[in-house]
Structure 1
Amino acid sequence: MAAQSHVPGEGDDDASRRYRPGYELVAEQLLNYIAEQDLRSGDRLPTEQGLAHILGASRNVTREAVKVLAAIGRLSVRRGAGIFVAESTGGPADDELSHFRPTSMEHVLMLLDYRTVIESETARRAASLATPIEVRAIRESAETSLRAAQAADGHAFARADTEFHDAVGAAAHNVFLRSSVANVRRFASQSDVLLFHGDAPGSLEVAAQQHLAIAEAVAAGEADLARELMVEHIATTQSQFERKIRDRLFNLDGRGAPKVPVQPSRSTSAAEEPPSQETSAS
């Protein structure tokens, strides 16, 4: 059974009393280790056993942490060769992104700031340039997200949410804006996995209603309104992320956020076996 740490959330729902398994804490520690050691894309990490020793965790928990980080594209595990920081797909600027920490307040806020800049402009252009077919795609994905929210189907909502933002990006008629939207959401999904276990950080229905409002503004050709509504939508997400991260920083076991030891040390936070189920980003 995994060592788990309590993560208080908002409200009295079950998700607010969720516990974090040890392998997720070790995944976070491992990302901190990569940043502190200034490792870059393609750099080789210590062996699984070596990482376990450095992080003060069991080998089994470390193995599960590596699997999680490989699944979200942060590590590359090559049979017979070792564990590596995942290769970037771009130029030197992407090397800085390889140090993105999905559970860091500073990094998540930078990401959301960038998302606001990109997606607000995307929504504004979509309202001016969307074709009838593109408007229909935006509306249908927004309506699908509302049905999923009302059914409390997080996985269906996540798919509809992705389709909605992709549809708005496509309607902006700028391949670079559309690519930026997809890229920023890829990083956000890493926070979804490590902070929210693949669930949405807040009310699905609130987000779905915001999707519908943006869709209607785009359909009406209200460019400024579409931009304002997208800014509001992302601001809602930001407040949810801030609350969740603050909960973790200040309430996690009453100890604060886990840190990576410079020298090998013992840890009791991740000493047990992780559960076998996999997590997936929303």
Structure 2
Amino acid sequence: MAEPPRVSGGRADEAPRPYRPGYELVAERLLEYITEQKLRPGDRLPTEQGLAQILGASRNVTREAVKVLAAIGRLSVRRGAGIFVAETPGGLVDDPLSHFRPTSMEDVLMLLDYRTVIESETARRAATLATPREVRDIRQGAQASLAAAEQDDGHGFARADEAFHDAVGVASHNVFLRSSVAGVRRLASQSDVLLFHGDAPGSLEVAARQHLAIAEAVAAGEADLAQELMVHHIATTQRQFERKIRDRLFNLGDRATGAAPQPPTGAGTQDVPLPPRTSAS
């Protein structure tokens, strides 16, 4: 029987690379495989054993990779049926975002560029259109993010961060802008999980104080300032993100690169808990 095609990046004769968890690398290769094979949402993947052979990994590590990708919504594992490419939130079968690579610097930078365009306009419109109640919600989200940051509460910050950005989206009075903001943040959370395991790429307090500045610009009706502050906020996130990726991929070369380590606590159980999204964003 012919040997299944292997995904690029899985050759055994490649030079050792800086340490990264084995399941993370296999998850990355699995997403590349889905793209290379032009698989679409709803398409069935090979069995766990078949994927392990294709990806050049052990079955155990492949299993952890599948669990993580299922936890972030990229795969769907159906008991007794198999492993499938997950449907996209919008339900569009041909949606190119189904092939977003959360560990690719190129894809992440495109995502942040798009986020700058969408969220800066959302903030500008919020400053023009927000009702008193919507201004209150934006302020509350910003204040809650600062309180959580000062307590080093990653879970609390994640909730407040989401509430703040969603409140700005609501205040734009455009359901498509609000939906776009939510969609971008869902994709960004995939990078947080695969690369950072829920750790913040940068300072939560810096991000929270930027939230407060944006909230006050919206409250004052200063549309241009709100837009400018949001652009700066996302640019700060991008710099922190790039630095964190460089540190992770290139500054850990002195660590062992042999056998893949075990995934974080909980990844070996039946249900993988999704780490909290605590990006300084």
Structure-1 residue corresponding to 2:183: 183
In the alignment, is residue 236 of structure 1 matched against residue 236 of structure 2? yes
CA offsets 1:37-80 (integer angstroms, 9 cap, x no match): 22211121111011112222221121111111111110011111
Structure-2 residue corresponding to 1:14: none
Structure-1 residue corresponding to 2:82: 82
Relative to the length of structure 2, the TM-score reads: 0.84
Structure 1 segments (4+ residues) deviating >4 Å: none
Amino acid at match of 1:90: G
**Distance change in 2, residues 1:200/1:184 (3 Å):** same
Secondary structure of the equivalent of 1:182? helix
How many angstroms apart in 1 are the aligned matches of 2:223 and 2:182?
Answer: 21
Q: Which sits farther off after the overlay, 80-89 or 223-232?
A: 80-89
In the alignment, is residue 91 of structure 1 matched against residue 80 of structure 2? no
Structure 2 gap ranges (5+): 1-15, 267-272
Structure-1 residue corresponding to 2:126: 126
Structure-1 residue corresponding to 2:246: 246
Secondary structure of the equivalent of 1:215? helix
**Distance change in 2, residues 1:115/1:185 (3 Å):** same
How many angstroms apart in 2 are the aligned matches of 1:30 and 1:170?
Answer: 36
Cα offset for 1:254?
Answer: 7.0
Cα offset for 1:233?
Answer: 0.3
Cα offset for 1:111?
Answer: 0.4
Aligned Cα root-mean-square deviation (Å): 2.2
How many angstroms apart in 2 are the aligned matches of 1:55 and 1:65?
Answer: 11
In the alignment, is residue 161 of structure 1 matched against residue 156 of structure 2? no
How many angstroms apart in 2 are the aligned matches of 1:216 and 1:47?
Answer: 53
CA offsets 1:156-212 (integer angstroms, 9 cap, x no match): 001000000000000001111101110110001101111111122100000000000
How many angstroms apart in 1 are the aligned matches of 2:152 and 2:222?
Answer: 31
Structure-2 residue corresponding to 1:212: 212
How many angstroms apart in 2 are the aligned matches of 1:100 and 1:224?
Answer: 32
Amino acid at match of 1:253: G
Amino acid at match of 1:30: L
Structure-2 residue corresponding to 1:12: none
Secondary structure of the equivalent of 2:253? helix
Cα offset for 1:249?
Answer: 4.0
**Distance change in 2, residues 1:143/1:273 (3 Å):** closer
Secondary structure of the equivalent of 1:240? helix
Structure 1 gap ranges (5+): 8-18, 256-266
Mapping of 1:3-22 within 5 angstroms?
20-22=20-22
**Structure with more contact order per residue of length (Cα contacts < 8 Å, sep ≥ 6):** 1
In the alignment, is residue 101 of structure 1 matched against residue 90 of structure 2? no
How many angstroms apart in 1 are the aligned matches of 2:44 and 2:189?
Answer: 24
Amino acid at match of 1:91: L
Amino acid at match of 1:47: T
Mapping of 1:108-147 within 5 angstroms?
108-147=108-147
Secondary structure of the equivalent of 2:51? helix
Structure-2 residue corresponding to 1:24: 24
Cα offset for 1:24?
Answer: 2.0
**Distance change in 2, residues 1:279/1:22 (3 Å):** farther
**Distance change in 2, residues 1:126/1:233 (3 Å):** same
**Distance change in 2, residues 1:36/1:249 (3 Å):** farther
Q: Which sits farther off after the overlay, 132-141 or 79-88?
A: 79-88
What count of residue pairs does the alignment treat as equivalent? Answer: 254
Conserved? CA contact 2:154–2:276, under 8 Å = no
Secondary structure of the equivalent of 2:83? strand
How many angstroms apart in 2 are the aligned matches of 1:169 and 1:160?
Answer: 14
How many angstroms apart in 2 are the aligned matches of 1:252 and 1:49?
Answer: 31
Conserved? CA contact 1:129–1:173, under 8 Å = yes
Report sequence identity in percent. 80
Q: Which sits farther off after the overlay, 198-207 or 241-250?
A: 241-250
Relative to the length of structure 1, the TM-score reads: 0.84
Cα offset for 1:245?
Answer: 2.4
In the alignment, is residue 203 of structure 1 matched against residue 227 of structure 2? no
Structure-1 residue corresponding to 2:12: none
